[in-house]
Amino acid sequence: MKQIAGKLVKVMEACSTIKKNGINDFHHYKYATSADVLEKVNASLVKHNIASIVLPEVIANSDVMNNKGNIEHLVIVKVNITLIDTDSGEQIELSGIGSGQDSGDKAVMKAQTAAIKYAYMLSLAISTNDDPEADRKTDEGMYVTDMEKSPSGSGNLICSDCGTKITAGIMKVSMNRFGRQLCINCQKKLQGVA
C-alpha cells in the first residue's frame, strides 16, 4: 500500500481546494459542482497512473411529497470507488452516500453524482474554503425551535436581562443585533433610546 498511498498524497495536494463555481438560484447559495470536482480529481489520478472504478448501489428508494404537495422520487445511493495504482497493482477502496430527489427519472443520477462527489471530497480532504455546517439561518431556526420548547411545554421565551416574555420574532432580532434574547425595552436601553 506504500506506493498508492504516496501517489494519493500527491493527488490530495493537487486537489486540496476546489472553488465554488456553481450557483443554486432557488436557494441562493454557491457550491462546488460535481463536474469541477471530478475534472480536478480525474486529472490528478491520471497524472499519477491511478485508475478509478465506481460501482453504485441503490440502498433506498421511496416516494415523498415536496413542499408544493407534489410526489417526487427520493433515492439514496452508495458508491464504492476502487482506486488502482497501475504501476504497483495496489488498490484502495473509497465509499460515499448521496441522495437525490426528482419528479422524473433523474433521482438516481442526482444521488450517484452526490455520492461520488462527496466520496472524493471527503476521502481526499478537498476543501471549498468554507464550513458547510456554518448555516446561520438554520442555526437560528433551530435555536428558536429549541427555545420555544420550554421544560414546562408552555413555549415561553423571556428576556435575558429583565425576564419579560418575548416573541420568537423579537428574540430573532435581538439575537442578530445583540447576541442574546432581549425584549424591545432592553434593546432600546442598549441602543441608548430608552
Q: Which domains does the chain carry?
A: 2-123 (3.30.390), 136-191 (no CATH)
| Per-residue pLDDT reduced to its tens digit, 156-178 | 578 888 888 888 778 777 777 77
- Would you place residue 131 in the very low, low, confident or very high pLDDT band (cuts 50, 70, 90)? low
**What is the pTM assigned to this prediction?**
0.65
User: C-alpha angle with apex 56: 55 to 60, nearest 5 degrees?
Assistant: 155
Region 122-131: mean pLDDT is 87
| Per-residue pLDDT reduced to its tens digit, 13-38 | 999 999 888 988 877 888 889 999 99
| Per-residue pLDDT reduced to its tens digit, 63-108 | 988 888 889 999 999 999 999 999 999 999 999 999 999 999 999 9
Asked whether the predicted pLDDT for residue 120 surpasses 60, the reply is yes
Cα dihedral value 48, 49, 52, 53, nearest 10:
-170
Contact (CB, 8 A) for 100 and 106: yes
Pairwise CA distance, residues 99 & 111, whole Å: 4
Nearest to 117 by CA among 26, 42, 23: 42
pLDDT attached to residue 72:
92
Single-letter amino acid code for the residue at 176: N
Q: Within 10 Å of residue 126's Cβ, how many Cβ atoms? A: 20
Pairwise CA distance, residues 20 & 131, whole Å: 12
